[in-house]
Chain A
Amino acid sequence: MVKLIVDNKEIETEDEVTVLQACLDNKIYIPNLCYLKEMDNPPGSCRLCFVEIKGYNQPITSCTVKVKEGMEVRTNTEHVRRLQRTAFEFLLSVHHVDCKNCPANKKCELQRIAKFLHFGLKLKKLEQLEREEGVEQDHPFMEYVSNRCVLCGKCVFVCQKKNGKAMLSFAKRGLDTVISFFGEEDKAKTTCKECYACVEICPVAALIRK
């Protein structure tokens, strides 16, 4: 077991876990979207779980640092909050906010983070970015709503984990990046119908059952 100090409070945790996991296990919430406990190499892509750790001269993502005895962590500094708010506003600026009609309403991770950061779901300094609207209907059992998706990649991870190979992947570049089902497979023959792991893990209902 390892002891570390988070926001001036001592917590105890298993060895070899990430700072993010240690905090979450100890009921200290740090906003995050792309992290799952089972991941050996967390992608570190959502850029929300910043903390300050003594010895590092800059905020660092807590999903990428393993705990160490005596480590001093602060989860709520001004710099941390600034990065989290900017990252969150970025995500919001490409998100189609329509909570009333969204299946994720009330269990949506974005709502949770907005509340935690006292941010609300309105843009403050940025403008909404226009993206192609659209729901991908290609898949016989699922729909993909691109302007809800936060590209956390959890769906790709769980699919890979459950089926040995991922039938979902990132596609395109830059702002056009989306999650896409592999084209060459005969989707009707896939085991998706018995699985739906991706739909269940999606934090924002971008993947939904048909």
Chain B
Amino acid sequence: MNQNSKVKLNEIFTSIKAEAETRLKDISGDNSQNIFIGMATCGRASGAVEVKATFEEALIERKINAHIIPVGCLGHCYGEPLVIIDKPGFPPILYQNVTPGKARLLVKAYLEEGDPVFEHVLGAMEENDMIPAVMEFPRFNQEKRVVMANCGLINPEDIYQYIAKGGYSALVKALALEPEKIINEIQESGLRGRGGAGFLTGMKWQVVQDSEEKDKIVICNADEGDPGAYMDRTILESNPHQVIEGMAITAYAVGANRAIVYVRAEYPLAVEMIKKAIGQAKEIKLSGEGILGTNFNLDIAVFQGSGAFVCGEETALIQSIQGKRGMPQLRPPYPAQRGLWGKPTVINNVKTLASLPPIFENGAKWFRGIGTDKSPGTAIFSVVGNIVHAGLVEIPMGVTLRALIFDICGGIPNGKKFKAVQIGGPSGGCLPDDFLDTPIDFDSLNQAGAMMGSGGMVVMDEDACMIDVARYFLDFTQKESCGKCTFCRIGTKHLLDILDRITKGEGREGDIELLEDLSMDIKNGSLCGLGKTAPNPVLTTVKYFRDEYEAHIREKRCPAMMCRTLTAYFIDLDKCARGCDACVGSCPTEAIFTTKNRKKGIDQTLCVKCGECMVSCPPEYDAVRKVSPPELAPKIERPKEE
């Protein structure tokens, strides 16, 4: 690009930026009060829509002037709905679990009368000497927000809010560079794809850039089919412009003029947000024809997938856009060589693309300073399961599992013990406590038998039965197999059936070895990544929890007492209170009877092992026991009806 066009480019962007700053002043001028409400899917699911309506009503009723700004998701799911109130004279304050009732209270007590209502405060968003800042909590200060830096803080429906925070200036920087320079920068940054495999982004781009073909395509992979993973959705809902900016940088670098966001139709809000954002970007010439006065054109479209897990696999995704059944194809040719409609195609994950603007803003060296040597940058996990502070966490690569689970996310609730963590989505592995000091990066997780995958993380406490866990994930992958190749279509079903019979107490000698053999063959024999990784939950649980398999098979005992066929409930007659009927009504099958001395017994032939009696037994008696194997339950005869 010549000097002239560089000047022009900067001029155009300077005026856009000025507009953004003027608009920002309008809403956050000296005396304005702002209420930021988390309105991403997670917030809405916990009632943010009603909370917003209540705030609106209450402001009108009390004749208070304040802006309500819908924002995306902060990642702190445990605290949803989350609201930040920014009032002059106070630091911005974050409130958690805001209900319509709390909303009315906050308007009256805080906005009208100046009392911040401390009992509902999670923390202040800035250091101050009035209210403890959230930055003092590990859940905030041990995170490193790069991709999610603005999530939950800006209105995703307003491009100017992103620009006011520095958005799109990385694109301006990139457009002033030769495409080769951009690819060099990305190669230097060491960025690896966040879609699971950790492939070097710069290397992929190079192949596409080198291609002679004129027409090239960029695809943003937002299929996100892993159960329990929702970071890509959150990013699209909370800050879609960072993804668009990343796509524009990618397209410019590889020489593409077409880009497609592939997002599942089950993400209606994400679809709406990204579509709106694309429209806004086009309006002010940040996409479309002649971006920022240059001769670079980029047309961005949205394609809605119908939500098959396998369509996240890049070759299946391409088939799906071409109107075919989403079945993975053999590679090579890789999409970078021959992709959508036969054109060289860059496919990158949402997080990979959203990492680009910060890299260009701050430089490859800065990015390398975060994370580890081989896995620079941050990782985003959705930490769910038996965990105190569930939600999305963005951490520098290299943080240990222990630090993530116990320090950042607050550990296991209810005083229970940690048992295992399942990492990498349905085809990740289950790791026991010996592995808690494993650093979180692509290579260490692979070595341990798990994987980064999409960043799903399920934490399990002592009550989890590992065979049941493996069964759960195999049930998912088996159903989601596209049916094309023999190993995945049929092999995963055999694994599932064997696990199923083990949990039912029908396991046989040799089942463990059979599971191992079949798993290895399915890994080695399958066509695509789905089949190649589907046995991971089996292999890791067999490896790290073999004694549990043996207990199920040999002793017909479930150590975690989760497998229904292998457990029984009984009532400890020494503890049961004569005349108490608390459990009787709770039993859905009328399995509980009264003994001769007016205590209670359970008819094992009727019991469905739902555990309701255990819940309803008053804590002062605590008389219901659960045992495995079921023969351990003492036989208590039901008195003959008179």
Contacts and interface: CB of A to CB of B under 8 A. Distances in A.
A124 to B, nearest CB: 11
Nearest to A93: B490
A50 B491 CA distance: 17
A21 to B, nearest CB: 16
Interface string B505-517: 0000000001001
B325 A169 contact: yes
A163 interface: no
Contacts of A42: 330
A175 B514 contact: no
B327 A47 contact: no
B497 A173 contact: no
| Residue with the highest number of chain A CB atoms closer than 10 Å, among B329, B486, B514 | B486
A62 to B, nearest CB: 12
B59 to A, nearest CB: 50
B497 A91 contact: no
Interface string A39-78: 0011111111010000000110000100000000000000
Contact of B490 (A50, A59, A175): A175
Contact of A129 (B329, B479, B487, B497): B497
B149 to A, nearest CB: 39
Nearest to B501: A127
Contacts of B521: 82-83, 86-87
Contacts of A126: 494
B490 A94 contact: yes
Interface in B461-510: 478-487, 489-494, 497
A26 B410 CA distance: 66
B103 interface: no
B485 A174 contact: no
Nearest to B531: A47
What does DSSP make chain B's interface, helix, strand, loop or mixed? helix
Contacts of B397: none
B308 interface: yes
Contact of A175 (B308, B478, B517, B518): B478
Name the interface size band of chain B. 20 to 34
A90 interface: yes
Interface stretch (B154-162, B215-223, B522-530): B522-530
Contacts of B480: 173-174
Given A59-B524, A86-B525, A175 B497 contact: no
B308 A47 contact: no
Contact of A125 (B327, B329, B487, B514): B514
A90 B483 contact: no
Contacts of B514: 125
Contact of A41 (B308, B329, B485, B525): B329
B483 A170 contact: yes
A60 to B, nearest CB: 10
| Residue with the highest number of chain B CB atoms closer than 10 Å, among A45, A172, A177 | A45
A72 to B, nearest CB: 20
Contact of B483 (A46, A47, A83, A151): A151
Given A44-B330, A86-B521, A125-B514, A175 B526 contact: no
Given A90-B486, A93-B494, A45 B527 contact: yes
B490 A173 contact: no
Interface of B: 308, 325, 327, 329-330, 478-487, 489-494, 497, 514, 517-518, 521, 524-527
Given A45-B486, A45-B527, A47-B526, 7 more contacts: A43-B330, A46-B485, A47-B487, A58-B524, A86-B517, A174-B489, A176-B483
Interface of A: 41-48, 50, 58-59, 64, 82-83, 86-87, 90-91, 93-94, 125-127, 129, 151, 169-170, 172-177
Which 4 interchain pairs have the tightest Cβ spacing? A177-B483, A90-B490, A86-B521, A174-B481
12 contacts: A45-B485, A47-B487, A83-B525, A87-B487, A94-B490, A127-B497, A129-B490, A129-B494, A151-B483, A173-B308, A173-B479, A175-B493
